[in-house]
Amino acid sequence: MARTAVAQRFSDCQQLAESQWRQPLEQHLQQLLKRAAEAFDYRFERPTLMLNQRGTIAGSARLQTQVLRLNPVLLVAEPQAFIGQILPHELAHLLVHQLYGRVAPHGAQWQQMMESVFDVPAERTHRLDVSAVQGEMFLYHCGCQQHQLTIRRHNRVLRGASYRCRGCGEELQKLPNE
């Protein structure tokens, strides 16, 4: 039942993002491409923009296919962060790959693209509120603390996998339901 609600929310946000934010994103993408082309005197391939990223990831860049994927749920919640930070961040990955090939994902070339060309702080991670997209967490414990496992890791434990605490080295145990 919860999975259906999550899927419906994703679909609703995807439609809203397409109708309200596709055009501003595409326009800003074009502006960023123009800035980069002028800065490097290079004609960059225009990437495809998709609003289908899931989970807590705000966006991702597919280097081989020149695709930018943005999370519609997070986009609808904080559109200005996407236009100002997330879109330039992901685009910088693609443009750096076009210019230099395989380099460190957040290395000097990427930082230069972000700060000198796009005039955006070169931050590796976003600070968006992900509570709306974060799945259920399961409480486990060890000898020194409590741990929250994602549903994926919890299901792996149910199938026989085990995880150890990095602090004390003990195997994590599920906390009994209250």
Tell me the catalytic residues: 90
Looking up tokens 């596709």 gives 22
Structure tokens at 2: 């919860």
Residue 48 three-state SS: strand
CA atoms in the 13 A half-sphere facing the CB of 118: 29
Residues 6+ apart with CB under 8 A from 155: none
